[in-house]
Amino acid sequence: MDDRAAGRPWICVRQQAGPLVKECRALRPNYSRYDTPDVRREKAEIKRSSGVTSVCRTRRDRLELRLALFGRDGIFYTLTFDREHECYSLDEVRRRWKAFLYRLRKWSGRQEIDYIYLIEGRHGDRRYHIHAVLRDSEFPPAVVRYLWPFGVDVDDQPLLKGEKDSYARLAEYMNKERSDGVVLPLDRKLWVSSRSLCRQLPAVETWRDFSGVIEIPTGAVVLQHQPLYRNRFGCYTYAKWLLPPLDVPARARANNLGIECNK
């Protein structure tokens, strides 16, 4: 099928967050008065999935974009409690996080700081702990250890472990626990990002083009590239990549990761 000759424009959607770019191009089906109810539902689903949601469908996708806003300046911290400060309820952990957040704000001298945090307690030794993502330029590991008042065990790792790594790996990890109604209430959010961080997410770009080719910039690291896929009602293509430069990692420890980070 010659899509250009058919005169059907491709619906193009692109989302950028820091160095991460996602793009989808699709030829969406048209409705017909001869469509059966099943066919009409299938076409409607294709139309929905080829729109803005094509680059941000799931909870993991939303977290991936917010992690990418940290660029290469983000550090993934694991904050644990010693026996003296051990928590036995989610509300207690939340109070401890708020106290720590107050210390971060006071140290930085700003009311708004960029962060993502997650409370976990269902795996390992089943003790509550907190994962947090902060900017290395604002809160390097030495500062976080100094400001964390509830224990001495603070682990730090870079968001990206190597050139071929992606924010999707950490986004999947931070969505691995599900609410059980006991340790983690059913109505809780799995992760929370600060308002200042959310405001930095650019709007989704949408346009129409007579070409279905996604042009990936030279030097970019291609994380995913779905070749042209056709079904009986249309076709689409999808790509995800990291923009250069790719050599400015945060100063998190990497001794257990098999990589080296700049100090």
**pLDDT at residue 38 greater than cutoff 50:** yes
How far apart CA 239 and CA 217 sit, in angstroms, is 12
**pLDDT at residue 190 greater than cutoff 90:** no
The stretch 149-153 carries a mean pLDDT of: 89
pLDDT score recorded for residue 256: 41
Q: Which two tokens stand for residue 231?
A: 């079904």
Looking up tokens 């008065």 gives 33
pLDDT score recorded for residue 200: 96
pLDDT score recorded for residue 249: 54
pLDDT score recorded for residue 55: 78
Mark 158-186 as b/e (b = at least 16 C-beta within 10 Å): bbbbeeebbbbebbeebbebeeeeeebee
**pLDDT at residue 163 greater than cutoff 60:** yes
How many Cβ atoms sit within 10 Å of the Cβ of residue 35?
16
Q: Which two tokens stand for residue 117?
A: 């945090």
Single out the residue of 156, 110, 153, 115 nearest to residue 249, CA to CA: 156
What tens digit of pLDDT does each residue of 3-32 get?
443 567 888 999 999 999 999 898 876 666
Average pLDDT, the chain: 81
pLDDT score recorded for residue 186: 44
Q: What are phi and psi of 14, to 5 degrees?
A: -140, 135
Handedness of CA 45, 51, 55, 57 (dihedral sign): negative
Largest interatomic CA distance in the chain: 72
The stretch 35-58 carries a mean pLDDT of: 68
Angle at 44 between CA 43 and CA 47, to 5 degrees: 90
Q: Which two tokens stand for residue 216?
A: 């990936």
pTM of the model: 0.81
How far apart CA 105 and CA 246 sit, in angstroms, is 30
What tens digit of pLDDT does each residue of 53-103 get?
667 778 899 999 999 999 989 999 999 999 899 988 889 999 999 999 999
The stretch 240-246 carries a mean pLDDT of: 85
The stretch 120-128 carries a mean pLDDT of: 72
**pLDDT at residue 246 greater than cutoff 80:** no
